[in-house]
Amino acid sequence: MATTGAGVDRKREGKAGGLLTVRGLTKIFGTLKACDGIDLSIGRGEIHALLGENGAGKSTFVKMLFGALEPASGEILWKGERVSISSPGAARHLGIGMVFQHFSLFEALTAAENIMLSLDEKTPILKIAERARELSKAYGLPLDPFAHVGDLSVGERQRIEIIRCLLQKPDLIILDEPTSVLTPQEADKLFETLETLRDEGKSILYISHRLEEVKRLCDRATVLRHGKVVAHCDPRKETATSLARMMVGDEVQAVKRAAGGSGGEVLLEVAGLARPAANPFAVPLRDIRLAVRSGEVLGIAGVAGNGQGELFEALSGEVLQESAASLRIRGKDAGRLSISGRRLLGAAFVPEERLGHGAVPQMRLSENLLLSRHVTDGRALVGPLWTVRGGALAKAAARIAAAMDVRKGGDDPEAAALSGGNLQKFIIGRELDRQPSVLVVNQPTWGVDAGAAARIRQALIDLARSGSAVLVISQDLDELFEISDAIAVMHDGRLSAPLPIAEATFEKIGLLMGGAEPGHHAGAPLETA
């Protein structure tokens, strides 16, 4: 077998047909076949969807295409030649680019420096920054090339990944949930760009759980279930329901949202919350006001990087407020309370980043449960002299996994061993299991498949209807319209007045996300004594 540059082994395989052909690709982890004999082909100038539940094998499959994992068996043909892709650098040398759902960026470096590391040619950093800025403007993805990644939100980091990939001018672009942090208008612009790339002969492997956009954008689709191909189809001839049925093997339960109560007790109240920018790239919060009542789901929309992360930190207690009265939980001043202090008032919190923020990757699920529940559960989980009640902890973790249908390879695996969607179900289930009076959740179903998303959304609605106050921060407008009783919008550190769901439209919310009508407040000011 001959070797041709950058660690790519090639063997001539007949006439050049499509751009990419995969035959019998298999990957085994221990006793688990994550990918089991996958066959797939992508033509030149095609947008091809890869669909499946979390844990279906999509991430494992594309990592093999990108050289991050080595197949156990099977073959990859690139432009009619058999190739062995030994590394991401080899994949890029071939002409394969990828935007991962979980980003591969160095936090201590700037956006431009991260982009430079992925480019083969030696280009001055100022030139890279100029090209990145031009590309970001063309795609409607605002980006400061000199911002440090550690200071950026998840959405802003994804913009770096997309721009970095496109700057490499690949023949095949693998996109994993690319619209999860875009407004409808920005998503439309991205679709136009992808269609232009297709018309120019570029190919795209498109992974998304948003089935309506798959129907709109993609020419063909391959559906995985439990590591195997279960269907190839033209998504334009399918319905979102039929695509979801292929993915899960059964009907996906529709989310049911009964009318929420508007006259319940205010359980979460914020008035005059302001916070200066923590660093040159952060967003200051400007006079935030909101009120969430018992029985209500308040949704907060907004393009990533407009203060949602700063708002979550203020609500959760990761950052304390100057005034204790600027935040009230169940009628009690909580602005100066720690996370544990707020939890003891009946509040619960789910951050947007699963690994590293919501859970410690190398710790087991039961250990992650203990980290968040040792204060509120007290003697149920912790005995004398801080001895851990292992049996009770294992029972609680198993109860949460069963309630949220968390699929895992062992009784108590490390958090990093779970797929993104299954870890998200566990983290949300960990908080729901307490039946909190107030739940604040940031991006509850980011990168989660249709079945898991429906389960999570229904659980949030059910918690609210049981009498709790639920605040959901999300960039997924479909999600917010499905579960919210009212929607407010974050833009440039300000929160708009909430629109009752009966009055809200995608156009109205999208315009607010783009900066129209800033400065209105969600909820009335607190009464002063």
For the stretch 403-436, pLDDT in tens is 988 888 788 899 988 877 789 999 999 999 999 9
Band of pLDDT at residue 517, cut at 50, 70 and 90 = low
The pLDDT of residue 3 is above 70:
no
Cα 369 to its chain centre, rounded Å, is 21
Sheet with 332-333, strands from edge to edge, namely 285-293, 266-275, 327-329, 332-333
> Which CATH number does 264-346+437-522 carry?
3.40.50.300
CB 486 within 8 A of CB 296: yes
> Measured between alpha carbons, how far is 91 from 89 in angstroms, rounded to an integer?
5
The pLDDT mean for the chain works out to: 86
Q: Which phi and psi (to 5°) does residue 168 adopt? A: -80, -5
The candidate with the shortest Cα–Cα distance to 395, out of 421, 416, 377, 375, is: 377
The pLDDT of residue 223 is above 70:
yes
> Do 1-94+220-246 and 264-346+437-522 share a fold?
yes
Domain ranges of the chain: 1-94+220-246, 264-346+437-522, 359-435
Flag the least confident range among 21-25, 61-65, 174-178, 428-432.
Answer: 174-178
Band of pLDDT at residue 477, cut at 50, 70 and 90 = confident
CB 308 within 8 A of CB 473: yes
Q: Which phi and psi (to 5°) does residue 25 adopt? A: -70, 125
The pLDDT of residue 326 is above 90:
yes
Band of pLDDT at residue 268, cut at 50, 70 and 90 = very high
Band of pLDDT at residue 62, cut at 50, 70 and 90 = very high
Beta strand 266-275 with 327-329 is antiparallel
The candidate with the shortest Cα–Cα distance to 426, out of 478, 372, 477, is: 372
> Which CATH number does 1-94+220-246 carry?
3.40.50.300
pLDDT of residue 186: 67
The pLDDT of residue 379 is above 90:
no
> Measured between alpha carbons, how far is 354 from 169 in angstroms, rounded to an integer?
31
Band of pLDDT at residue 187, cut at 50, 70 and 90 = confident
Q: Which helix H or strand E contains 94, and what residues bound it?
A: helix 88-94
Arithmetic mean of pLDDT, 352-369? 90
Flag the least confident range among 228-237, 446-455, 485-494.
Answer: 446-455
User: Which residue carries 């999860």 as its tokens?
Assistant: 180
pLDDT of residue 520: 44
Flag the least confident range among 51-55, 269-273, 286-290, 378-382.
Answer: 378-382
The pLDDT of residue 99 is above 70:
yes
Q: Which of 148-162, 197-211, 245-259 has the highest mean pLDDT?
A: 197-211
Tokens for 248, please give them.
Answer: 């899960």
Q: What is the pLDDT of residues 109-122, one digit of tens each?
A: 999 999 998 887 78
